[in-house]
């Protein structure tokens, strides 16, 4: 079965809101064996919405529409749906009960807007909304499924999971679409492709997508078929091949972040860490503390942005900064050593660099970063040049610092 996702809203077209709904719906449909062949965005214009319905209805087995179900003047999706199926909006007792219960829980009174929300296309099945007043609409016509959901993400996600996904799961679809994503860092897309070589023999109809970002490349393997075990075995075969070629650059699988992976390693090894950040301005600490229970391994983190703060808080010798400069191997090492000793942790890491756009020189250009590492056995620093773009430099430095710790702990070259 093939599906199209139609997202409705001017806010998406003008770039004010990112279309995360389409990504979520696509992932959930894939999970029950439904291939999403197209994602379309349409503005809050009834004519354009109807035009999209008429153009794509005959071409897809499943149409999922999001957005435009609210009670305001620019919410025109219900009207367009009624015109498309030639039905009327009628008062629904089921929707009324749901809205009354929702308002009661939130101590809100009945209003004209609530009265508007209980109007529902005749002949459609109600998709209950636990977190809002806009009910979803489910049409089963012409051996097709036409599904309309609100655009508010947490409302849509609940309805998608509880109703839509469960509906297709109960139908016991005879096709599986499986994905496996290998998360890599520290290697460019072109070099990764060279390492993997010719993939025709190993893929044999499967797909491998290279998805680069400022912090690494995701390798997404996609397999579809009618036998789930065979699909899983094929994915495992392809993953094994990739790991043989590039394993040291692979830190996680699927949606695992490097900070999550590093947190698990530190927890398993019962290691503690402290961080001294200059050019990253606290970004490493922010990422690490996004992981639950990070307090068990992160003892402290300081942002020592000025030279004086490096001297006062990390015991970096003043003459070392004057002689080598704040952005140097020697200062990065001293920062990592200082934070480790002050905190009494197993590991200390540090960052110092030139994030730009000004401040660079021929000897020390914008993008130059030194990342320091210290444990009981050694203190060291590695040099990087992360190019231009202040935020991108901070992101790359944060990723590289965590990757250095991961590789040293795991004894990866």
Mean pLDDT computed over every residue of the chain? 95
Asked if pLDDT for residue 124 goes beyond 80, the answer is yes
Q: What is the pLDDT of residue 177?
A: 87
Q: What is the pLDDT of residue 176?
A: 85
176-253 and 2-170 share a CATH fold = no
- Per-residue pLDDT tens over the stretch 186-242: 999 999 999 999 999 999 989 999 999 999 999 999 998 989 899 999 999 999 999
CB 305 within 8 A of CB 278: yes
Q: What is the CATH number of domain 258-410?
A: 3.90.950.20
Q: Which residue has the higher pLDDT, 73 or 320?
A: 320
> Which of the four pLDDT bands, split at 50, 70 and 90, describes residue 172?
confident
> Which of the four pLDDT bands, split at 50, 70 and 90, describes residue 330?
very high
DSSP sequence for 242-272: HHHHHGGGEEEETT--HHHHHHHHHHHHT--
Q: What is the CATH number of domain 176-253?
A: 3.30.70.2860
Domain spans of the chain, in order of start: 2-170, 176-253, 258-410
- Rounded CA-CA distance 319/404 in Å is 28
The CA R_g of the chain, rounded to the nearest whole Å, is 27
The alpha carbon torsion through 251, 256, 257, 261 (nearest 10 deg) reads -60
For residue 278, what are the contacts with CB-CB under 8 A and spacing of at least 6?
A: 303, 304, 305, 310, 326, 335, 350, 351, 352, 353
- Average of pLDDT values for 107-111? 92
- Average of pLDDT values for 59-84? 94
Q: Please classify residue 411 by burial: count the beta carbons closer than 10 Å to its beta carbon, then call 0-12 exposed, 13-18 middle and 19+ buried.
A: exposed
CATH 1.10.10.10 fits 2-170, yes or no: no
Q: What is the pLDDT of residue 76?
A: 95
Sign of CA dihedral 194, 199, 200, 201: positive
What is the pTM assigned to this prediction?
A: 0.78
Distance of CA 187 to the CA centre of its chain: 20
> Which of the four pLDDT bands, split at 50, 70 and 90, describes residue 395?
very high
- Rounded CA-CA distance 382/190 in Å is 23
Asked if pLDDT for residue 73 goes beyond 90, the answer is no
B/e letters for 167-204, b = 16+ CB within 10 Å, e = fewer, are bbeeeeeeebbbbbbbbbbbbeeeebeeebeeeeebbe
Q: What is the pLDDT of residue 269?
A: 97
Q: What is the pLDDT of residue 239?
A: 97
| Helical pair 307-314 and 329-343, crossing angle rounded to 10 deg | 40
């Amino acid at each position: 079965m093939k599906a199209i996702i139609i997202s409705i809203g001017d806010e998406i077209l003008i770039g004010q809101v990112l279309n995360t709904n389409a990504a979520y719906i696509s992932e959930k449909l894939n999970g029950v064996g439904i291939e999403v062949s197209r994602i379309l965005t349409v503005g809050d214009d009834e004519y354009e919405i109807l035009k999209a319905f008429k153009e794509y209805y005959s071409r897809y087995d499943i149409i999922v529409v999001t957005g435009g179900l609210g009670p305001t003047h620019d919410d025109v999706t219900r009207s367009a749906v009624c015109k498309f199926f030639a039905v009327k909006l009628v008062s629904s007792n089921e929707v009324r009960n749901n809205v009354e219960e929702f308002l009661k829980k939130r101590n809100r009174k009945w209003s004209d807007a609530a009265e508007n929300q209980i109007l529902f296309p005749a002949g459609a099945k109600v998709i209950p909304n636990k977190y809002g007043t806009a009910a979803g609409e489910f049409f089963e016509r012409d051996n097709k499924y036409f599904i309309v959901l609100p655009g508010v993400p947490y409302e849509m996600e609940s309805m998608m999971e509880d109703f839509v996904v469960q509906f297709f799961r109960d139908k016991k679809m005879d096709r599986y679409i499986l994905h496996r994503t290998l998360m890599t860092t520290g290697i460019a897309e072109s070099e990764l492709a060279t390492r993997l070589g010719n993939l025709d023999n190993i893929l044999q109809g499967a797909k491998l997508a290279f998805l680069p970002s400022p912090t690494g490349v995701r390798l997404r393997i996609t397999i579809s078929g009618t036998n789930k075990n065979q699909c899983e075995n094929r994915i495992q075969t392809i993953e094994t091949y990739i790991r043989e070629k590039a394993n040291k650059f692979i830190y996680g699988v699927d949606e695992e972040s490097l900070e999550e992976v590093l947190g698990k390693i530190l927890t398993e090894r019962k290691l503690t860490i402290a961080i001294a950040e200059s050019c990253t301005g606290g970004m490493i600490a922010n990422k690490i503390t996004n992981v639950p229970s990070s307090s068990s391994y992160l003892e402290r983190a300081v942002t020592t942005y000025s030279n004086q703060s490096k001297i006062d808080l990390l015991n970096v010798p003043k003459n070392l900064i004057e002689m080598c400069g704040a952005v140097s191997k020697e200062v990065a090492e001293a920062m990592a050593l200082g934070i480790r000793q002050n905190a009494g942790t197993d590991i200390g890491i540090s960052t110092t660099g030139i994030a730009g756009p000004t401040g660079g020189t021929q000897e020390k250009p914008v993008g130059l970063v030194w990342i320091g590492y210290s444990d009981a056995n050694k203190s060291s620093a590695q040099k990087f040049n992360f190019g231009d773009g202040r935020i991108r430099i901070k992101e790359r430095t944060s990723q590289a610092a965590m990757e250095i710790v991961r590789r040293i702990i795991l004894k990866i070259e």
